[in-house]
Structure 1
């Protein structure tokens, strides 16, 4: 494995940005270390209210101690709050609480950075001293240059950009037609046909047409079919629950996962808000697998409240069809035994950025190597 030489605070921030894939805001970022080797990278929202420092520190420590090799950490506070001469740094209580809790676990804090909107400085340094550097210095750091050369880039925020949609009423009607067809089928038939449709999309080198997109979105409306389709994404032959929670022993096919995200975004642009939630859930899983918990949550909302997108006079599903749909959902859900969503898709304030699924260096189709943290990356110079 290549050595990663980090010699300056700007290198540290560049490493964080390229590891997460975005520039953190109002965040605490921690990197676990074992001597001169990097472990996991964690980003978590800063406490929003006074009195939350200790619970917040316990949550952070819980994540960090999952790296059993960690002996120390680097941290960076990203905030728009300014430090004043003679006063404690913003979020000093959070860092003090974290220092004490980690010390009980035998983990020391090696160093810390305070990152404002314009400048960065040592966390324990006085504001306005010569130690402060412009945040723009990260753009000329060696780590930033190397990461960009490898194809990585840092987005300004963790918000995922979703394609726009239009003609919502017509799209909703098209999806509902496929939903009715699926609900009328025997359970196994519906599941097999949904997985076959999905497999054919993976085998193709072009995006599916509108009708196939509507059929895919319709299949995703049934939770158990949705979960099977999500589990089919990595291309590994293991139990579904192990795949969904990134616990499979086999290495996922990262190029296949990247193609799945493109397919889902393509389908999202061809659906209506009424049917978008499960599509976003699948995209959220992909972000979580790739170690982007902060992106997984924003694109994985609870099913939004909405007004029906059916046009006036459109036929409504009959009670019989609704019963068929509920039966299918119930029977297939039993096969899954109520698998829960991973934490990153449920909780925005505690999104761990250490990757859920280790990347294989043998998959040349995966283009995210410079935006995920290896399990143990040697570094020198810091």
Structure 2
């Protein structure tokens, strides 16, 4: 990845304008906490604003916030924004104890709060200033945030602020019902053949080769409807070990995918059927960028001890940093495969949920996983991942600045 550029923040409006771009949506009923490294912005954390019981005794909530922000080991300060929308004018009365608890806890953790703001649907104001002479009620128009210099620069760079995660996850991509029907028909035909080859090593290799060819496509290349290809891809996601191998390959390379398959002993010597796959022209096969896992090459048999294990990749522990370009490409493929519905859509949404969690976007992850479970109740991987999200577990890559996903490329300073 190219070295990040710097975004210059000159005012509170710039900070507040950066938050929706960082999250991907304009938050509501949310606490957003950001770490500072000197004058540079660090990590961004969003949590639902707590209810009355927690507001009465905010110490535990404040400690939780500190625990998350302490993952940024270089942080020496923090910023807070309370997006309250309803009743925000009563901020000091309703959220004063929460703000005080956060100030005390963050100061004790070496990340003193340097600024804090209340943001409503129409107005925003400084949460630490009670002087009506400089901070009069009801505050300053939210439009100032939307018109900030940094917001304009973000838009110029191609960033956009979309709807809330639940609305984005539920959105259906435009497409022909005839195409979706053709994809489902092709999926059933491919699955009948693939079911006979679940234990075949050559078939496993053929599946990875198809997915690798798609992950290697040049960025920005349009995704054209192709029923046979999409049906094949969806059918492969219905075999859990192949689905997992695709996730592993995108994040950590072919060697990690192969090592995981060997770890779970999915191959059977008696399965000798010739492998099947769409013709090469259907998925754009050709030379492309290959990503090797530590200790292996893209096409190795992955017997080296340095290859990341499945569980470590799933939790973002290994490799030191994932292949974000491939994960971004995989996310786009899953986005295209989901609208045709069925269990394969649940697999695609679960994959998107895992990628969102790896990116540190818990709200999006929860929305995708919940939608997967709506489509396929009891879908095990979605259940496990959603439990991690609800516990507040942070993906290992998201917790390390040097490994974390960058939405824009630039840091903010």
Q: Pick the TM interval, shorter chain.
A: 0.7 to 0.9
Contact kept? 1:20, 1:292, Cα under 8 Å: yes
Q: 1:105 to 1:83 in 2, by over 3 A?
A: same
Partner of 1:289: 358
User: If the length of structure 1 is used for normalisation, what is the TM-score?
Assistant: 0.74
- Of 48, 57, 81, 1:45 maps to 48
Structure 1 residues 10-25: aligned runs within 5 Å: 10-25=13-28
Instruction: Please report how far the alpha carbon of residue 98 of structure 1 lies from its aligned counterpart in structure 2 after TM superposition.
Output: 2.3
Count, aligned residues: 339
Q: 1:176 to 1:348 in 2, by over 3 A?
A: farther
1:65 aligns with 2:75: no
Q: Which has the higher contact order (CA 8 A, sep 6+)?
A: 1
CA-based RMSD of the aligned residues comes to 3.8
Greater shift, 128-137 or 242-251, is seen at 242-251
Specify which structure has the higher proportion of helix: 2
Partner of 1:7: 10
**Secondary structure at 2:87 match in 1:** coil
What is the alpha-carbon distance in structure 2 between the residues aligned to residue 181 and residue 356 of structure 1? 42
- Of 81, 89, 105, 2:86 maps to 81
Partner of 2:315: 245
Contact kept? 1:172, 1:274, Cα under 8 Å: no
User: If the length of structure 2 is used for normalisation, what is the TM-score?
Assistant: 0.69
1:183 aligns with 2:180: no
Contact kept? 1:246, 1:356, Cα under 8 Å: no
Structure 1 residues 143-292: aligned runs within 5 Å: 143-158=150-165, 159-160=167-168, 161-163=171-173, 166=177, 174-189=186-201, 190-203=203-216, 206-207=223-224, 209-234=226-251, 235=253, 236-238=291-293, 239=308, 240-249=310-319, 252-269=322-339, 271-292=340-361
Partner of 2:256: none
Instruction: Please report how far the alpha carbon of residue 342 of structure 1 lies from its aligned counterpart in structure 2 after TM superposition.
Output: 5.6
Partner deviation per Cα, 1:73-92 (whole Å, 9 max, x = no partner): 1000001222457x734333
**Secondary structure at 1:184 match in 2:** helix
Contact kept? 1:179, 1:219, Cα under 8 Å: yes
Contact kept? 2:123, 2:138, Cα under 8 Å: no
Partner of 2:389: 346
Greater shift, 99-108 or 242-251, is seen at 242-251
Instruction: Please report how far the alpha carbon of residue 192 of structure 1 lies from its aligned counterpart in structure 2 after TM superposition.
Output: 2.5
1:108 aligns with 2:108: no
Unaligned stretches of 5+ residues in structure 1: 309-332
Q: 1:288 to 1:215 in 2, by over 3 A?
A: same
Instruction: Please report how far the alpha carbon of residue 112 of structure 1 lies from its aligned counterpart in structure 2 after TM superposition.
Output: 0.3
Instruction: Please report how far the alpha carbon of residue 35 of structure 1 lies from its aligned counterpart in structure 2 after TM superposition.
Output: 2.2
Partner of 2:408: 369
Partner of 2:144: 137
What is the alpha-carbon distance in structure 1 between the residues aligned to residue 186 and residue 400 of structure 2? 36
